[in-house]
Structure 1
Amino acid sequence: MSHGRGIRLFLVDGSPNGLLTAEIMNWTGHALTGPRTKLTELVQRPECGRTGIYFLVGPDPDNAMRPLVYIGESDDVAKRLKQHNRPEDQGGKDFWERVCLITSKDQNLTKSHVKYLESQLIAIAKQSGRCGLMNGTAHDYSVLPESDLADMAFFIEQVRIILPVLGFDFLRDPTASHSTSSQEGKTLFEMELPTFGVKAQAQEIDGSFVVLKGSTTRPKWTAKNNGYGNLFDQLVKDGVLGDEVDGKRLFTKDYEFNSPSAAAAVVAGRNTNGRKKWRLKDSQVTYGAWQSDQVDLKTTAGTTEQ
């Protein structure tokens, strides 16, 4: 059974587009994030003078579906950020638009700790496939006592919880939430296009609509190109959709969509209403009807219990 988690957010200058701090109850870590336009104010914060890890995040001009990310560490993050803010011909980095800094409230993070965290987080970012990583070759740094390794494993877990709350998804594991054990008991949905021999299966997992590995799609986007058309092309480019075989493409792995309609559009090769196209396995009940029934059932049960 999963438990709730309390996260405290603070708008430093009272603006949702300014500097933001975040803390998790019973965690010594502290997050500070903001846009590059606020770098002058950010580097003057006391957190920036501590030992920590940081993330530089910006758009990928070659892939609108994911960001570019650089992961770094320093004993003096303010100094490093000033270096990254220089023009590229002076050793800086031009791509980034936002920065997120993770330090420790008790200031117990050492240089060895953050070097280890950097190496582990780079490996996680590579595995997630949710960003274009701007780091060069990352060293596998694991020279820590056993007790410190356990502490850093917990620290990384908290970082992976707090970053999505701040709008950074690039450390989320694309496969862990879709493991066989997590899929057991989940409602299965199907979508078929008999004319084209296309059949796909999907599940709702952790708030996302996940099309399962082995599902098929039409071979190409057939309508006027738009956001979903770009998504289709990107999935082909990334290898999520395999090469065309017998007039179809195959999902090479589970893939998480932000809505049933996005998933349905990729399967159909054109815009379509996923709430109508997806149906409960072996039934004619649409996803939309099923979801409505779930809301009614849960709210009715809650009213009865009261």
Structure 2
Amino acid sequence: MTQGRSIRLFLVDGTPNGLLTAEIMNWTGHVLTGPRSKLSELVQRPECGRTGIYFLVGPDPDNSLRPLVYIGESDDVSTRLKQHNRPEDKGGKDFWEKVCLVTSKDQNLTKAHVKYLESLLIQNAGHVGRCKLINGTAHEYINLPESDRADMAFFVEQIRTVLPVLGFGFLRETHRPSQPEKASVKASLSTAPRFRMEIKRDNITALAQEVDGEFVVLEGSQARFEWTDHKHNYRTLFKQLCDEDILVDNGDGNRRFATDYAFGSPSPAAAMVAGRAANGRKDWKVEGSGQTYSEWQDQQVSIAVNEVSE
């Protein structure tokens, strides 16, 4: 069973849209984030004068489903942020709307540490595929002792834990049921049923499982070849999955999922299979029983309530 974690959040100016700090118990890291409109206040914070990693995040005008992200490092983050705030024709970056920087409370992060962290984080973000990186290809940095590399691997895991809590989900790993998983994920899979969705007239069958709060359509699942509902916003997601070779030509008039893919809920998953808007809570059914996802979820809630009352 995965152990719980305590994260301490502090609203610096008392407003939810202002500067925010975050810390994890027993972790030396310190996170500071805020909107670009608060940059003049952010750069005055003592954290900005330290060595650290920073993320610039903004919307992608060509893809509303994933953000644009730049990952950088500096031994004086405030100086780099001031440079990035310039107009593009003067060497700055226009795309970003939010900034997040990670430093160390004990100030033991060195320039070598953050260069190594930058390399790891760029690789992780590219592998996860939840954003479009402005950086391009990561430059591998290995000039660290083995013990320091182990410390930085732990540091990265803490960053990947805290950032989604702050609304930055681009480093959050997607668990893939068809691949070897950690023990905690195996445990969740052992109790999670497989859901099946069928469109018989088109010979389409898809399978999925719910893992860590996400609805994962399994590799090999079939989907309609083209999107048919031109008024629905999910058509953008369908096109994206085709462009990124997640949905590939199956050679029989349909498409198939070339890899496991996680969705936030059953309905977008069902829509990608059907090629149109769909109600995933009704269309996905427990394999072997025919129970809808909605009925299954209601049953799980009832069981949990009864166990508490007993």
TM-score (norm 2): 0.95
Counterpart residue number, 1:288: 294
Pair 177,119 (structure 1): closer, same or farther in 2 beyond 3 Å: farther
Percent identical = 64
Structure 1 runs of 4+ off > 4 angstroms? 175-178
Counterpart residue number, 1:230: 236
Counterpart residue number, 2:271: 265
Counterpart residue number, 2:102: 102
Comparing 24-33 with 57-66, greater Cα deviation is found at 57-66
CA distance in 2, matches of 1:270, 1:176: 25
CA distance in 2, matches of 1:131, 1:279: 31
Q: Which letter does structure 2 place at the counterpart of 1:267?
A: V
Counterpart residue number, 2:134: 134
**3-state SS, counterpart of residue 242 of structure 1:** strand
CA distance in 2, matches of 1:145, 1:196: 57
**3-state SS, counterpart of residue 190 of structure 1:** strand
- Cα-Cα RMSD: 1.3
Residues 57-78 of structure 1: CA deviation (Å, up to 9, x unaligned): 0111111111110000001000
Instruction: Identify the match of residue 227 of structure 2 among 221, 226, 235.
Output: 221
1:178 Cα deviation (Å)? Answer: 6.3
Pair 137,218 (structure 1): closer, same or farther in 2 beyond 3 Å: closer
Give 1:84-163 correspondences, 5 Å limit: 84-163=84-163
Counterpart residue number, 1:13: 13
Answer whether contact 2:66 2:131 (CA < 8 A) is retained: yes
Give 1:22-37 correspondences, 5 Å limit: 22-37=22-37
CA distance in 1, matches of 2:137, 2:213: 34
1:138 Cα deviation (Å)? Answer: 2.8
CA distance in 1, matches of 2:233, 2:98: 24
Listed as ranges, the gaps of 5+ residues in structure 1 are none
Answer whether contact 2:69 2:131 (CA < 8 A) is retained: yes
Counterpart residue number, 1:206: 212
Listed as ranges, the gaps of 5+ residues in structure 2 are none
Residues 214-239 of structure 1: CA deviation (Å, up to 9, x unaligned): 00011111113322121111111111
**3-state SS, counterpart of residue 222 of structure 1:** coil
Q: How many residues align?
A: 304
**3-state SS, counterpart of residue 198 of structure 2:** strand
CA distance in 2, matches of 1:137, 1:179: 26
1:302 Cα deviation (Å)? Answer: 1.4
TM-score (norm 1): 0.96
CA distance in 2, matches of 1:12, 1:105: 17
**3-state SS, counterpart of residue 215 of structure 2:** strand
CA distance in 1, matches of 2:240, 2:205: 21
**3-state SS, counterpart of residue 210 of structure 2:** strand
1:193 and 2:199 matched: yes
Counterpart residue number, 2:307: 301
CA distance in 2, matches of 1:281, 1:177: 16
